[in-house]
Copies of this chain bind each other. A is one copy, B any other.
Amino acid sequence: MITLKQVATKAGVSYQTVSKVLNRKIQVSEETEKRIMDAVRDSGYRPNQIARNMRAKRSLMIGYSWVQTSPDQVNHILDLFLTSMVREAEAAGYHLLPFPFRAGQAHVDDYRELIDTSRVDGFVLSSVNYNDPRINFLLERRVPFVSFGRSNPELDFPYVDVDGADGLLQAVEHLIANGHRRIAAIAWPDNSRVGNERMRGYFQAMQSAGLKTHPEWIERGEGTYEFGREAAFRLLELPEANHPTAIVTLNDTQAIGALHVARERGLEVGRDVAIVGFDDAPMSQYLQPALTTVRQPISEAGHKCVEILVSLMERNPPQDHQALLKPRLIVRASG
């Protein structure tokens, strides 16, 4: 491992001078500068990052943890999100430190540990919900962080989020434009911040169009295939009069469940009943019929998270520390 001292001996100057020249802290004669630069090049010197960090009292690391999805749930998002964060971080001289996410209140400990041992300078949070203990903890400790997803509305902290309400608004407006009037929703339990936000878009679109919503059109449960089936079954069993002609869902997995039930009942999805998903999971395009769904700008979100976080960590004027990104409806054959 090459150090400053070795380069300095080679160049015939003190090692501190080499450091200063490399960091453009001082001006030296053209001749010594050349000697130093040659020595650096010849030896292949690369500054030891650990020593640097020690001196600067920072790690140039960003902590990130995510929930492990159940094996049957797609996490196509992770690849995109991580890659975009890693790219943006690297451009700013940072690296990512992924760590295991533990459920439960105790998992603030992992964050504390990483801070106290000064392994990371800041965090990107994901899978936040109401009353997320991490947010208060990090705010109190004044540790820079950005949350991917919002939490309690009364808390003010830096976040990036996808405008889920707009996603469902687009979906419902699209269905209305296609002539649908009785639109049902397969949603999540109302303790989900993300779920409630998305449903807000549903209600808003229905109301703007002057359409009534019925309680029996709203099915709340898990984001699983099984719940998608159950919910669709109940919806399609409703009496003819207020029987929905279209179903929006909060994720593609639910949508697939609904799609199967519809088909099993002899309905042709896309003609007899419309079904819209959310997420644009990689295989949604290969379903038959291909799934109309809402695609989230995941890469942009990753970029933005790191961009904001970096400016917080470097104590730059924290410009806009909140960003809401618009998703995009991908219209395919299912609705």
A interface, CB within 8 angstroms of B: 1-2, 44, 46-51, 53-54, 57, 59, 66, 68-69, 71-76, 78-80, 82-83, 86-87, 90, 95-100, 113, 116-119, 225, 253, 256-257, 260, 263, 281-283, 285-288
Which residues in B have their C-beta under 8 angstroms from that of A49?
117-119
A193 to B66, CA, bound (A): 32
A286 to B256, CA, bound (A): 7
Copy number in the complex reads 2
- Between-chain CB contacts (< 8 Å), 21 pairs: A1-B118, A46-B113, A46-B116, A46-B117, A50-B53, A50-B119, A54-B54, A66-B79, A74-B283, A75-B76, A75-B78, A78-B78, A82-B98, A86-B100, A87-B100, A90-B100, A95-B99, A97-B97, A263-B288, A281-B282, A281-B283
A285 to B283, CA, bound (A): 12
A77 to B225, CA, bound (A): 20
Which residues in B have their C-beta under 8 angstroms from that of A69?
79
Most chain B CB atoms below 10 A, which of A71, A78, A118, A286:
A286
Whether A51 contacts B54 in the complex (CB less than 8 A), given A83-B100, A118-B1, A283-B283, comes out as yes
Which residues in B have their C-beta under 8 angstroms from that of A257?
286
Shortest distance between the CB of A299 and any CB in chain B (Å): 9
A69 to B76, CA, bound (A): 10
